[in-house]
């Protein structure tokens, strides 16, 4: 561990920035949902511009009802085991329905970080397509980590003019 990184040095160098953010009440906030897109922290109202829910589905009534039904059906929130070892049958059935609906192999994740750090690099390098690197396309509202240039070596050479569904 720490053979190729120095986490303790990184923590020491970043501590000042974290302390400044904490002093200015920019981190470690306990919040509730307000009306519409607003969050509440005490008497302050703000919009969370760091959310992975860029479509706002985490608060949509139909999504909430579906999630409640899913938790009751599964009898748990999730398995505390790596997904490569065990996955709830409910998730497998969901992916199968997405696969049938879209006519592609669908893989569902519950967080952008998991998708962007685990699945997308493997997809982008051709790991799911016998080494053939796909063109990776994300809409302008996608989470920021999906929109930052080349994703782990996906095929280069797609100009901005070609970034339409018709051109792709």
Cα distance between residue 108 and residue 92, in whole Å: 9
Q: How confident is the model at residue 45 (pLDDT cuts 50, 70, 90)?
A: very high
Q: How confident is the model at residue 41 (pLDDT cuts 50, 70, 90)?
A: very high
- The yes-or-no verdict on residue 12 having pLDDT over 60 is yes
3-state DSSP call for residue 25? coil
Percent of the chain with pLDDT over 70: 78
The token pair that represents 27 in the structure block = 């981190």
For 10-31, letters b (16+ CB in 10 Å) and e give eeeeeeeeeeeeeeeeeeeeee
Mean predicted confidence (pLDDT) in 127-156: 66
Q: What is the pTM of this model?
A: 0.59
């Amino acid at each position: 561990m720490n053979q190729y990184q120095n986490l303790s040095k990184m923590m020491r160098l970043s501590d000042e920035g974290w302390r400044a953010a904490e002093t200015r009440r920019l981190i470690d906030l306990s919040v509730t949902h307000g009306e519409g897109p607003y969050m509440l922290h005490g008497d302050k109202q703000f919009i969370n511009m760091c959310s992975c829910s860029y479509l706002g589905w985490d608060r949509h009534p139909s999504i909430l009802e579906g999630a409640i039904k899913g938790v009751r059906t599964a009898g748990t929130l999730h398995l505390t085991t790596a997904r490569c070892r065990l996955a709830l049958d409910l998730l497998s059935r969901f992916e199968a329905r997405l696969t049938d609906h879209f006519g592609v192999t669908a893989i569902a994740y519950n967080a952008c970080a998991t998708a962007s750090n685990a699945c997308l690099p493997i997809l982008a390098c051709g790991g799911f397509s016998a080494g053939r690197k796909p063109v990776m396309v994300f809409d302008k509202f996608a989470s920021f980590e999906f929109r930052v240039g080349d994703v782990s070596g996906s095929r280069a050479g797609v100009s901005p003019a070609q970034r339409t569904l018709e051109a792709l």
